[in-house]
Structure 1
Amino acid sequence: MADMIRVEVAYALPHKQKILSVEVEEGTSMLDAVRQSGIEAEFPELVLAEAKFGIFGKASRAPESDVVREGERIEIYRPLLIDPKQARANRAAKAQK
């Protein structure tokens, strides 16, 4: 039997946040751990195939192959509503008025 490790899966919307703890086999990929957590049942609108992932704020380029380690928190990121550069430009323009 393979060794088991515990990781957390986190996702947040403006009105609802959830962190789920899940036990997975050692060597499990980030994407597989997210699927095993059952987070999709909590957020039916979440499409994992389109989502971006990270560990403790560091984005993953390949969640389907990045292996999780004991105690890590996998974060599921929502798409940005506006480009950060554009948001800064909008704030600067508003401040000048």
Structure 2
Amino acid sequence: MHIEVVYGAPVTPVRCRLNLPMGSTVGDAVRACGLLEQYPEINLNRNRVGIFGRLVSQAAPLRDGDRVEIYRPLQADPKEARRRRAASARKRAMA
């Protein structure tokens, strides 16, 4: 079956196309594409994975045509970032 693995690397996104046997899992695809060796910052205990934007476990079975996505960890807590933006906007409004 034809599978695509993508990783949003910091500089440029990376795409890897594979042919895997039926019954392969998301984890199999990630290991088979070689991105773990190319990008040592990928840690499958920390980085989440998904299929077409939907979070799945590494044990999730694949279907022909699936796109496996490796997500990078968030750089900032979204709630904290919003608080900072709101505080900054309040300061500008008062000035």
TM range (shorter): 0.7 to 0.9
Aligned-residue CA RMSD in angstroms?
1.3
Aligned: 1:87 with 2:81 = yes
How many pairs were matched up? 91
1:25 is paired with a residue whose SS is coil
Q: Which residue of 1 aligns with 2:37?
A: 41
More strand as a share of residues: 1
| Pair 1:68-2:62 in alignment | yes
Other-structure match for 2:55: 59
1:44, CA displacement in angstroms?
A: 2.8
Uncovered stretches (5+) of structure 1, i.e. residues with no partner: none
Q: What TM-score comes out, normalization by structure 1 length? A: 0.84
Instruction: List alignment gaps of at least 5 residues for structure 2.
Output: none
Shift of 1:26: 0.9
Query: Identity over the aligned pairs, expressed in percent?
Result: 40
Mapped contact 2:46–2:73 kept (Cα < 8 A): no
